[in-house]
Amino acid sequence: MFPILPSKRSGVILEGWRWLYRCYAVIFLFLSLSLTGCAPHYSATAGPDGVIHLTLWQGINPPANREVLRSLVERFNQTHPQIQVESLYVGQPDQQMPKILAAVVGNAVPDLLWFNPNLTGQLVELNAIRPLDDWLATSPAGQQIDPVLREAMQLRDHTWSVPFGTNNVGVFYHPQMFQAAGITQLPQTWAELRQVARMLTRDTDGDRRVDQHGILLSLGKGEFSVFTWLPFLWSAGGEIASDPSEGKINIVQPGAIAALQLWRDLIQDGSAILSLPERGFELDQFLAKKVAMQLSGPWTLGQLQHGEDFGVFPIPAAQQPATALGGENLFVFKTTPERERAALVFTEYVSSEAFQTEWALKTGYLPVNLKSRQSSAYQAFVAQQPAMMVFLNQMAVARSRPVFPGYARVSENLGRALEATLLGNDPTAALQAAQRRLDLVFGDDS
């Protein structure tokens, strides 16, 4: 794992962190680019034919969604003969990170990157990406981006990325199981969620052993587990950082303790089961009807559209409704003025109503472009898939995970506290242990 640059440090220590980045990254540059064959084009100007060739690195999954992107990129190339974009799949996030950092340090960056916006802080610290304030101020498509997504685009009063597709977390459930258990109202509060989960936990075959649980919770300290837990933190009034721009991190707070305690209560009630470690996104137990509820998002709808008995409801609230924004953003790397201008043409295309509508219809992502959401084609799709309305309505209360250089370390330690709690530890003690580790990372600035 690469070290994360703290946001406030003395010049000597900051240079030490950068030196470590360079040492690690040079090794990964040689290994990743030589072994994977994913080296991008680096020419500073257009080729002899006057065509600018751009490289887009992405980690889109499942493969069917990569095929959707391939066709959309091909359409761009056909309508922009002087700009040709090559889309390269470079692995899932943990596989991409070494390649990205190695490319930055080795001056061998792609022109465009599809990645979670939480990478923004690191790329800004490394002076690797181009700010997009000028594009946003003049772009027709940029003005149509959902304002809720601006938080994930910005850091320190500048815009650094553009949403590619978005989603949020809701609760998938089996209506027939609810009906069989005599449940007539969907839970809206944490207390109701616990009650419903207990009612749905049953011995359905009479062997005196529970074979149907109320809810599946994601076990693991990875980002997906944290992502599905953060709505509960925010709903209870908690925050990850008191002032992330200043590196002030305090995770031992009432909202975080309450959110961990809720998940712990569901386990102690016997109404929740845990996913396999770091596999909370898999729907196997839900599809097999071993669990009645599971936290997930619209990216799973493709697995559930073939006569499956399911519905979706908003995440039950404590103090206020909340959900977590998901999805990835598009970054433009610093290269040459000519290449950057060409990359912004592609950025405009990705943000357009036409691109966003087709991407949403074929992948399940929510359109980031408001005109796309209002289009007749998308409205017809929503009418056929009522679950989409839950995610669209939740956008009003959705929040982005914080964009600051140390987020990866904070998430990692929140994940460790979450995992420890689900495996039996006291929530307060688990958060205190995580805070001690974070204090070592962020020092006196936190």
Q: What is the pLDDT of residues 295-328, one digit of tens each?
A: 999 988 877 866 678 999 999 999 999 999 999 9
What pLDDT does 444 receive?
53
What pLDDT does 10 receive?
36
Give the pLDDT mean for 78-84: 97
What pLDDT does 29 receive?
43
pLDDT band at 208 (very low <50, low <70, confident <90, very high): confident
Q: Which two tokens stand for residue 305?
A: 């559209």
What are the C-alpha distances in Å from 397 to residues 140, 168, 296? Answer: 26, 10, 16
Give the pLDDT mean for 47-61: 89
Q: Quick check: 12 pLDDT over 80?
A: no
Q: What is the pLDDT of residues 221-269, one digit of tens each?
A: 988 999 999 999 999 999 987 665 555 789 999 999 999 999 999 999 9
What are the C-alpha distances in Å from 409 to residues 4, 134, 282, 292, 418? Answer: 7, 31, 25, 33, 14
What pLDDT does 63 receive?
86
Whole-angstrom distance, CA of residue 138 vs CA of residue 351: 13
What pLDDT does 255 receive?
97
Q: Quick check: 39 pLDDT over 90?
A: no
Lowest-pLDDT range of 27-36, 160-169, 233-242, 347-356: 27-36
Q: What is the pLDDT of residues 176-195, one digit of tens each?
A: 999 999 999 999 999 999 99
What pLDDT does 14 receive?
38
- Residues 163 and 176 sit within 8 Å (Cβ to Cβ): no
- Residues 172 and 160 sit within 8 Å (Cβ to Cβ): no
What percent of the chain has a predicted confidence (pLDDT) above 90? 70
Q: What is the pLDDT of residues 392-427, one digit of tens each?
A: 999 999 999 988 888 888 999 999 999 999 999 999
Give the pLDDT mean for 80-108: 90
More confident residue, 311 or 31: 311
pLDDT band at 40 (very low <50, low <70, confident <90, very high): very low
What percent of the chain has a predicted confidence (pLDDT) above 70? 87
- Residues 304 and 368 sit within 8 Å (Cβ to Cβ): no
Q: Quick check: 59 pLDDT over 70?
A: yes
Whole-angstrom distance, CA of residue 6 vs CA of residue 421: 27
Q: Which two tokens stand for residue 80?
A: 């922009």
Whole-angstrom distance, CA of residue 352 vs CA of residue 370: 10
> Which SS3 state, helix, strand or coil, does residue 172 take?
strand
Which residue ranges form the domains of the chain, and what is each CATH number? 11-166+327-399 (3.40.190.10), 170-314+406-445 (3.40.190.10)
Alpha helices in 311-400 (DSSP H): 337-351, 353-363, 370-374, 376-384, 387-394
> Which SS3 state, helix, strand or coil, does residue 421 take?
helix
Give this prediction's pTM: 0.82
Query: What torsion do the CA atoms of 96, 353, 133, 363 make, to the nearest 10 degrees?
Result: -20
- Considering the chain, what is the average pLDDT of its residues? 87
More confident residue, 344 or 92: 344
Whole-angstrom distance, CA of residue 78 vs CA of residue 55: 16
First to last CA, the chain: 22
Q: What is the pLDDT of residues 332-375, one digit of tens each?
A: 999 999 999 999 999 999 999 999 999 999 998 999 999 999 99
